[in-house]
Amino acid sequence: MTLRNVAPTGADEARGFALVVLAYRGAMAEIRGAQAKYRAGVWEILEAAAPPGEAEALFGCFFAFVRALVAVAERPLQWRQTYCAHLCRDEWLAIAIIDAAQRVDLAAMLGAAAELVGVEELGDALNAAQELGAALAQRGVYLCPRADGAACANDLCPKRTLH
């Protein structure tokens, strides 16, 4: 099963990647209690990028995904709380889960999820990732394919940056 009817262009993938990272960071900040103002920021990002009338569904999927990750994680998840073009390891793994869910790559999704949240019971987090990946794909928002299958050894992944 594939979610893509037409291969996205490089520009579409870069736009999709930036959208997902920024929305993920905003949802993490909101849910982790950094500040309530991030909810409006996530809404603005999705409303500007999604087809008309589709932002609400993506908004719900993003927050459900982040809530599920936070609920099952054995440790506090890290994210960049200020604008940074580079992803921290936890962000990279969360994005890898969504990317694998979009590509219907169960092995990659399970591997990234197990490394990120460190638990055997991943059902809610993986279901939320699959729903988010499908919701993004249905609205023409795609992530770039990863060049390799493992997270970077250091905190920053030079291959995945926002511009």
Nearest CA-CA partner of 151 in 97, 106, 101, 103: 97
Higher-scoring residue by pLDDT: 81, 75:
75
Least confident of 5-9, 18-22, 37-41, 116-120: 5-9
Q: What does the pLDDT read at residue 154?
A: 37
d(CA 24, CA 41): 11
Q: Is 90 helix (H, G, I), strand (E, B) or coil?
A: helix
Q: What is the pTM of this model?
A: 0.71
What's the pLDDT at 2? 34
Tokens coding 84: 């940074």
Q: Alpha carbon 15 to chain centroid distance?
A: 13
Confidence at 110, pLDDT banded by 50, 70, 90: confident
